[in-house]
Amino acid sequence: MEITDGKIVSLTYDLTVGENGEKELMERATEAYPLKFMYGMGMMLEDFEKNIAGLETGDNFSFTLTPEQGYGEYDEQKVVELPKSIFEVDGKFDEERISEGETLPMMDANGNRLMGSVLEIKKEVVVMDFNHPLAGETLHFDGQVIDVHEPTAQEIAAIAHEDSCSCDACGDECDSCKE
């Protein structure tokens, strides 16, 4: 069966970044822990999906995505200083959760959820980076299609739950996740 819209796809891959032979492994999906998703639903980068379209179980793939095709160029304007006061719990700065290198779920003024990485903690502000961790990187994918099939009723229900759940992939126990 070939990869087309609405099919469940399982892949193994190595994702490396870098140029001119200086590549660094960033992520690996193995047969034991493959990447599994429904093709054509916007779950993956658009150009990632374009590069695997029409492949079948057992096919190998190797392709490169530019920053524009991936997570965009690194944008210095997405590095911001936020007042330490917004990280207070009971009137005290939350040193336990807020430290350099931590990635935190945040919300902008419009209620949009986004992830930010703590770059630095200064006397009055926390410097955060809201770029995707792979922004500005050229992405190299090498892998294999290990399965393509029609979705089962259980897989469709799981995807519908993920789409309707507002608890960050069930990391928090919302009412619909307590099952």
CATH code of 88's domain: 2.40.10
Domain stop point among 129, 146, 169: 129
- Band of residue 170 on the pLDDT scale cut at 50, 70, 90: very low
Distance in angstroms (rounded) separating the CA atoms of residues 13 and 120 = 33
pTM score, two decimals?
0.79
- The answer, yes or no, to whether residue 33 has pLDDT greater than 80, is yes
Residue 162: inside a domain: yes
> Do residues 96 and 112 both lie within one domain?
yes
Which residues on adjacent β-strands are paired with residue 37?
Answer: 9
Average pLDDT over the chain reads 90
Distance in angstroms (rounded) separating the CA atoms of residues 174 and 45 = 28
- Band of residue 79 on the pLDDT scale cut at 50, 70, 90: very high
- The answer, yes or no, to whether residue 87 has pLDDT greater than 70, is yes
- Give 102-154 as a 3 state SS string: CEEEEECCCCCEEEEEEEEECCCEEEEECCCCCCCCCEEEEEEEEEEECCCHH
> Do residues 90 and 66 both lie within one domain?
no
Distance in angstroms (rounded) separating the CA atoms of residues 134 and 137 = 5
Give the number of domains in the chain.
2
